[in-house]
Structure 1
């Protein structure tokens, strides 16, 4: 699935949704379902990695003097 790494987040999500729909129909042969499942897991990881990358980028603030500075948001429990 090396070509999948070139997908945008939105493209990967669309493909993942298509796979989920096929698997939810329930009439997919077992061997094919396993292939879909593996593809879905790879797409899920790709989406997670892209989101993690964006999250890391968003934890940097560019100050007025052009320097980057880390920050964090305390989440409410």
Structure 2
């Protein structure tokens, strides 16, 4: 089984959260802040692509008898 070279959703999200925390601390130079922002945009796009792919897989799995059943995802958490 070949493993995809892109980072997992969870690792990308954790890295994005770390970047946000570092930027919010205000201890970064302007150049470092811009680099962190650029990296954050890239990570956000990667996460969005991974979420879209997962959503498409869920829709395919929910297809029954040739008809797509579209239901909102419920993860059981309330918030």
For normalisation by structure 2, the TM-score amounts to 0.74
1:12-55 deviation per Cα after TM superposition (whole angstroms, max 9, x unaligned): 01100110010000121001100000000100110011001000
Note closer, same or farther for the CA distance 1:27–1:73 as it changes in structure 2 (3 Å cut): same
Runs of 4+ in 1 over 2 A off after TM superposition: 67-71
Structure 2: runs of 5+ lacking an equivalent: 73-79
RMSD between aligned alpha carbons? 1.9
Query: Larger % of helix: which?
Result: 1
Structure 1: runs of 5+ lacking an equivalent: none
For normalisation by structure 1, the TM-score amounts to 0.76
- How many matched pairs? 67
Query: Larger % of strand: which?
Result: 1
